[in-house]
Amino acid sequence: MVAMYGGHFILSLIGLFLNILFVYLTIKSKSLHGRCNLLLAFNSLTITPLQLFSGVKFFVLFSGTNFIRLKTCYYFAFLPLIGAGLATSAQICVGVDRLISVLFPFWYKDSDIYKSTIILLIFCVIRCFIENCYYFYGVSLHPDK
């Protein structure tokens, strides 16, 4: 079990490095400053907390702890939950962006890249905030478990 979670943690560290490299290359390369590329870089950036904290279960298992209270687990998972919420929102935004580019190609070509990207990112943040409020509400219903 330790070997399985340890291997998962090592793969997560490799993915973390590659996602940060992808964000860096997107920022440095002017040809990758399109809407979809920026959204994909945002997706890579927001999934990094999930990958970074995937090692928590490895360290908990390695320490010999068999049980973690729900509230403690929520605090460990708070940043990964935010990252996962933002990443899934970014994936939705990439899909919507691609759909709009196919349905309305002339408008898409003439629209401002940064304004529409900021609008999509605001949607991501609002959706993630609402999602994490539900998580916190669920944890607060059962504080002793």
Residue range 95-108: average pLDDT? 91
DSSP readout, 81-97?
HHHHHHHHHHHHHHHHH
Record the pTM.
0.80
CA atoms within 13 A on the CB side of 115: 4
Residues 99-112 as b/e (b if ≥16 CB within 10 A, e otherwise) read eebeeeeeebeeee
DSSP readout, 51-92?
HHGGGHHHHHHHHT-----HHHHHHHHHHHHHHHHHHHHHHH
Angle (deg, nearest 10), helices 35-52 and 2-28: 150
Using the structure block, give the residue that is written with the tokens 């090592």.
10
Asked whether 7 and 18 are in contact (CB, 8 A), the reply is: no
The pLDDT value given to residue 145: 63
Domain spanning 2-141: which CATH class is it, in words? mainly alpha
Tokens of 64: 């010999």
Structure confidence at residue 71 as a pLDDT band (50, 70, 90): confident
- Enumerate the domain spans of the chain: 2-141
Q: Render pLDDT for 31-58 as a digit per residue (tens, 0 to 9).
A: 988 888 999 999 999 999 888 887 777 7
Whether 2 has a pLDDT exceeding 70, the answer reads no
- Distance of alpha carbon 32 from alpha carbon 26, whole angstroms: 5
Residue range 83-106: average pLDDT? 91
